[in-house]
Amino acid sequence: MKNRIKVLRAERDMTQEQLAELVGVTRNTIISIEKDKYCPSLKLGFRIARIFGVGIDTVFTYEEEKDGPSSENDE
The rounded radius of gyration (Å) of the Cα atoms in the chain is: 14
pLDDT digits (tens, 9 = 90+) for 21-57: 999 999 999 999 999 999 999 999 999 999 999 999 9
pLDDT digits (tens, 9 = 90+) for 54-75: 999 999 998 877 665 554 544 4
Among 25, 18, 17, CA closest to 44:
25
CATH, domain range 2-63: 1.10.260.40
